[in-house]
Structure 1
Amino acid sequence: MGASSRGAHLLRRSAAFLYFWLLYAFWDGQSLGKKLFGIRVAQKGDGRMGVGQAAVR
């Protein structure tokens, strides 16, 4: 695996992490597909997921 290939892989992984982390944390626990089907990721109790919980998930 060349240096440019590793860099592209890291960029894709970072973009995927940021996509899910930001949407789950700031868009009521939903990615685009979940929003389309009306489902979301929630925690027990109040149901709202925090920024830290979204990052760990």
Structure 2
Amino acid sequence: MNSESTSDVLVQYVVVRRDLIDTWPLGSVVTQGCHASIAAIWSHKDDPHTATEMRVW
């Protein structure tokens, strides 16, 4: 990839609270993070930027 094409890439970060990792089973925390990630994408599914990045859908 050249630097021009990388400026158009959308990135989604999933941040997990440390206290949840320390008190809940890791699989449960990861599952909830995945659900939140997909919910954010779904909430913005009609946005043209999201549609471009999720063109495989």
TM-score, scaled to structure 2? 0.39
Select the structure of larger CA radius of gyration. 2
